Chain A
Amino acid sequence: DAGVIQSPRHEVTEMGQEVTLRCKPISGHDYLFWYRQTMMRGLELLIYFNNNVPIDDSGMPEDRFSAKMPNASFSTLKIQPSEPRDSAVYFCASSKTGGASYNEQFFGPGTRLTVL
């Protein structure tokens, strides 16, 4: 299996621009999570989906952030407009209900976002 795939790996943009981060979960996984990691705040859960439906978006910092999962193999996290304080590494992770790996989250390599 290819694992969780994220794109782009690095993104540099200017304040005010729209940013879209992409994630392809592991095939067969029914949960998808978006996290943000910074030195100051550590690892923060932003939102998670079950069977493509958003379950908890209480971690989304503000209305500038939105996430979608149009099908089981694709999700996006969008920031519009972006601000310098959004600079962070954004991780996507997926997990599967049941099976030997039940409860384990599989993380992608992350997208390093820099907003100038």
Chain B
Amino acid sequence: GDSVTQMEGPVTLSEEAFLTINCTYTATGYPSLFWYVQYPGEGLQLLLKATKADDKGSNKGFEATYRKETTSFHLEKGSVQVSDSAVYFCALKDTGGFKTIFGAGTRLFVKA
């Protein structure tokens, strides 16, 4: 079945450091890919998405490129801020499917 694997956390960075959170997926069809973010005490919210191969999703300085050849959708940000501290979830939704498959989440701590 479809699945998402993302790097285990926690990831601890200093402010202004470069961030990469790795995500790979397994899917039988042509899924849409997502990154959701969960701030403390809140529900998940969509950060960015990509619907086909080579698409780049971007939002709030975060970027991720849909790589079909490596089945990956790694999240990157050039300079993190303390306010980026949160849990990040990689997810996929297959074509014609109704469920979104979420990864286990990666907790990010950013120190001032």
Contacts and interface: CB of A to CB of B under 8 A. Distances in A.
Contacts of B89: 43
Given A45-B99, A50-B98, A109-B42, A104 B49 contact: yes
A110 interface: yes
B43 A108 contact: yes
Interface residues on B, range: 10 to 19
A55 B98 contact: yes
A107 B43 contact: yes
Nearest to A59: B99
A91 B98 contact: no
Q: How large is the interface on A (under 10, 10 to 19, 20 to 34, 35 or more residues)?
A: 20 to 34
A56 B98 CA distance: 10
A103 B49 contact: yes
A93 B43 contact: yes
A105 B102 CA distance: 11
Nearest to B45: A107
Interface in B25-60: 32, 34, 41-46, 49, 51
Given A4-B43, A109-B43, A110-B43, A43 B49 contact: no
B37 to A, nearest CB: 11
**Centre residue among A45, A48, A91, A103 by max chain B CB count within 10 A:** A103
Residue from A33, A50, A107 whose CB has the most chain B CB atoms within 10 Å: A107
A42 interface: yes
Interface in B70-107: 89, 93, 98-100, 102, 104-105
Interface string A1-33: 000100000000000000000000000000101
Closest CB pairs A-B (n = 3): A107-B43, A107-B44, A42-B104
